[in-house]
Amino acid sequence: MDPDWLCFHPNPSKPQFTPPPGAVDTHCHVFGPESRFPYAPERKYTPCDATKDQLFALRDHLGFERNVIVQASCHGNDNRALVDALVHSQGRARGVASVERDVSDAELKLMHEAGVRGTRFNFVRRLVDFTPREVLAEIAARIAPLGWHVVIYFEAQDLPELWDFFTTLPTTVVVDHMGRPDVTKPVDGPEFQLFLKLLSEHENIWSKVTCPERLTQSGPPGYDDVVPFARRLVDTFPDRVLWGTDWPHPNLKSHMPDDGKLVDLIPRIATTAELRQKLLVDNPMRLYWGD
């Protein structure tokens, strides 16, 4: 089956920036191979295969030591490809799954033993059909005793509508991609200030400073319009930020980033060695390997 979006960069550059020892790529995916792990019939996009072996080779090439692999919507709630990657990671990967309300306690336990430490709620309408909030609240209550967290994916204009739900979740909450701000608007404008207010008022909420390639209007390689937003989050909430590649960049149609160049953005958003240590090592190790 042909993918309906760009395939990942075949030969990413070697970054000039060297991540600190123990660095973690906290947002990446595995897809298929379709022959073994079919894509969900209800998917909104079809990816190209991106296997665990390719992911682990990229990890080594970029100078990282660990991965956090996030279930993406094209596999639906079938987490087999994710769990397979975790089992074969030699303890160097953790996972964020996607589950339904009928998931059994035994299934949750098996996923936990494989390395799953969270579940993802997707609120981006063009990617998934919204799950009723009462169902998500029930799932959140069930995973909380495992020490799992909830990852939420939404777009900035929807935050006012979702605020009350997000702020009542009983777990640590990690926001994907800075809440997808409109980077044509000012970093000090009301839309992004609302997101900063969310983190300021709720210490259980974290943010990934990821995906400039999805947010940019100015484009690669510098993604200059995205950098101020990421830097503001790192400076303001240094103990609650995470970084990741988003490899293999699913459902991306504008351009395919060079992952080495994405790594080279890190010193621009985390401007001191102390901030980079927290962003790349201390924070992800506390959240994903702290058990």
Taken in order of first residue, the domains within the chain and their CATH numbers are: 24-288 (3.20.20.140)
Tell me if 8 sits within 8 A of 248, measured CB to CB.
yes
Q: Read off the pLDDT of residues 109-128 as tens digits, 9 standing for 90 and up.
A: 999 999 999 999 989 877 66
Distance separating alpha carbons of residues 190 and 194, to the nearest angstrom? 6
Query: Picking from 2-16, 93-107, 144-158, 180-194, which range would have the lowest pLDDT averaged per residue?
Result: 2-16
| pLDDT at residue 56 is higher than 50 | yes
Q: Read off the pLDDT of residues 236-268 as tens digits, 9 standing for 90 and up.
A: 999 999 999 999 998 787 789 999 999 999 999
Rounded to an integer, the average pLDDT of 257-284 is 98
Residue 249's nearest CA partner among 289, 216, 205, 207 is: 216
Residue 115 pLDDT? 98
Residue 132 pLDDT? 85
Residue 5 pLDDT? 62
CA dihedral 155, 158, 162, 166 (to 10 degrees): 30
Distance separating alpha carbons of residues 82 and 72, to the nearest angstrom? 9
Query: Picking from 34-38, 170-174, 272-276, which range would have the lowest pLDDT averaged per residue?
Result: 34-38
Residue 252 CA: distances (Å) to CA of 68, 162, 210, 231, 237: 20, 25, 14, 24, 28
Rounded to an integer, the average pLDDT of 145-172 is 95
Q: Read off the pLDDT of residues 61-106 as tens digits, 9 standing for 90 and up.
A: 999 999 999 998 889 999 999 999 999 999 999 999 999 999 999 9
Kindly list the catalytic residues: 246
